[in-house]
Amino acid sequence: MIIKNFFTNSSGILVSRLFGFIRDLLTANILGANIYSDMFMVAFKLPNLFRRIFAEGAFTQAFLPAFTKSRSKGIFAVNVFVRFFLFILFLTLLVVLFSPAITKIFAYGFDDETIANTAPLVSINFFYLILIYIVTFIASLLQYRGRFAVTAFSTSLLNISMIIALLLSDPAVPQNTVYYLSFGVVIGGILQLLVHIYALYKTRLFSLLFNAVKHRKKHKQNELERKGFYKNFFHSVLGGSTVQLSAFVDTWLASFLVAGSISYLFYANRIFQLPLALFAIAFSIGIFPRISILIKREEKDEAIRLLSKGFWILTFLLCASALGGIILSKPIVKLLFERGQFNAEDTIICAQVLSMYFAGLIPFGLSRIFSLWLFAHQRQKEAAVISAIALGGGILFSFILVYPMGVVGLALANSIGGLFLFVLTIRAFGFKIFFNIIRSKKLPLLILFLTVESFILIVLKEVLQKLL
**Residue 10 neighbours by CB distance under 10 Å:** 20
pLDDT in the model for residue 224: 46
User: What are the Cα distances from residue 77, in Å, to 144, 151, 288?
Assistant: 12, 18, 19
User: What are the Cα distances from residue 406, in Å, to 264, 265, 400?
Assistant: 11, 11, 10
Give the amino acid at 270. Answer: R
Note whether 146 and 289 are within 8 A (CB). yes
pLDDT in the model for residue 354: 95
- Residue 325, C-beta contacts closer than 8 angstroms, at least 6 positions apart: 271, 272, 275, 332, 354, 355, 357, 358, 361
State phi, psi for 249 to the nearest 5 degrees.
-60, -40
Note whether 33 and 264 are within 8 A (CB). yes
Model confidence, pTM: 0.69
Using the Cα atoms of residue 63, residue 65, residue 70 and residue 73 in order, give the sign of their dihedral: positive
Note whether 320 and 449 are within 8 A (CB). yes
124-153 pLDDT tens trace: 999 998 998 888 888 888 877 777 777 778
Spatial separation of the C-alpha atoms in residues 418 and 390, rounded to whole Å: 7
pLDDT classification of 298: cutoffs 50, 70, 90:
confident
- With vertex at residue 310, the alpha carbon angle to CA 368 and CA 390, rounded to the nearest 5 degrees, is 20
Using the Cα atoms of residue 72, residue 77, residue 80 and residue 86 in order, give the sign of their dihedral: negative
Spatial separation of the C-alpha atoms in residues 356 and 351, rounded to whole Å: 9
Q: CA-CA-CA-CA torsion for 44, 22, 409, 417, nearest 10 degrees?
A: 70
> Is pLDDT of 371 > 60?
yes
Q: What is the DSSP letter of 219?
A: S
Closest CA to 10 of 192, 271, 280: 280
Q: What is the mean pLDDT of residues 12-28?
A: 80
First to last CA, the chain: 43
- Find the range with the poorest average confidence among 114-118, 293-297, 447-451: 293-297
pLDDT in the model for residue 74: 72
3-class secondary structure, 171 = coil
- What is 18-61 written as a DSSP string? HHHHHHHHHHHHHT-SSHHHHHHHHHHHHHHHHIIIIIIIHHHH
Q: What is the mean pLDDT of residues 296-310?
A: 83
Closest CA to 291 of 308, 307, 277: 307
pLDDT classification of 48: cutoffs 50, 70, 90:
confident
389, with CB counted inside 10 A (0-12, 13-18, 19+), is middle
- Say which residue, 52 or 426, is predicted with more confidence: 426
Q: What is the mean pLDDT of residues 395-413?
A: 91
**Residue 189 neighbours by CB distance under 10 Å:** 25
**Residue 179 neighbours by CB distance under 10 Å:** 16
> Is pLDDT of 106 > 80?
no
The radius of gyration computed from the CA coordinates of the chain, to the nearest angstrom, equals 22
> Which contacts qualify for 452-456: CB closer than 8 Å, 24 or more apart?
453/320, 453/323, 453/324, 454/323, 454/327
Closest CA to 248 of 33, 34, 395, 94: 395
pLDDT in the model for residue 246: 75
176-194 pLDDT tens trace: 888 999 999 999 999 999 9
308-365 pLDDT tens trace: 888 898 899 999 999 999 999 999 999 888 877 788 888 999 999 999 999 999 999 9
Write down the mean pLDDT value for the chain. 82
Spatial separation of the C-alpha atoms in residues 277 and 283, rounded to whole Å: 9
